[in-house]
Structure 1
Amino acid sequence: MARLILLILIAIAAWIVWQKIKSSSPQNRRKQIFIACIAGLAAIVLVLALSGRLHWVGAVMVLALPVLGRLLAQLSRYLPWLMPLFEKHAKKRTEQASEHADAQQNHTPPHNTEGPPLTEYEARRILGVAANAEKDDIIGAHRKLIQKLHPDRGGNDYLASRVNAAKELLLSIL
């Protein structure tokens, strides 16, 4: 009985949405169809979640991602007019990566530490100090962290070297 009521409600909602889309202007139709599709997907997810079947949707989506990636690669090979779309996104990612690399080169630590070089922002996050922190604040934060993370006290070399590099970088900027 509950399924029958649910089907009747879905049919009524679909009819109301269809009438609204049909009576709208041509400029607004595309937008309303998009909103109706999103609302329909949200309703499907809600029904699946309430019925305990949502985990199957997640599994299908996880399995579909690699297949979609390969499918897009094949489509770009067989439909060359799609290539400019992929090239535009690839070019944008390359530009962002080069900007990030340039930003990291401007703030290298004073000595060669393990791991990638720190930026000033990362060093401040590691020590937990504000941008306007003074020398005493930096040294105090370093002292508290190094007591917890020192290899002789159960920490490891990597974490201790990152804390030391953060302190040296921030002190060299002051």
Structure 2
Amino acid sequence: MARIILLIAVGIFAWLAWQKFQSSAPRERRKLLLQWMLIGLALAAVLLAISGRLHWVGAAVAVALPVLGKSLRWLTRHLPWLAPLIARRAQAKTEQQSGSDSTDKPPPLSVDEARQLLGVSAGAGREEIVEAHRRLIQKLHPDRGGNDYLASRINAAKELLLRDL
């Protein structure tokens, strides 16, 4: 009877976990999988300890500790050789990012380009400009699959048109 209750509980937990996994964003899925694996390992260890079958886990830990110790000693011994490579790579990455920021400035918008970008007429009022901006930014915002360039152009168009009112 206890096994059936345990099996039902595991089934419900698996179903809830699957629903959460499907509804989560792709960025969060890896984190969820890691958390669930750790929870599953902890539950398995508890169940093995309760049932008296934890002896093989103890043996695996006893074998893994010396191997882990030797691996860490090997890494610390060879880390000085890796440190300059890692530092050079990080420096090149920061130089590339700082260099690309200064050369990628978009050209300034004219009033006609701003109107065309937002899709408003020449006699558009404040409310129409704000609504057109809101509609476009919801579609093209970087958090929703757009990119920084388009979002910055849309924001610049709104600011330019509202400034000229």
Per the shorter chain, which TM-score range? 0.3 to 0.5
TM-score after normalising by structure 2: 0.40
TM-score (norm 1): 0.38
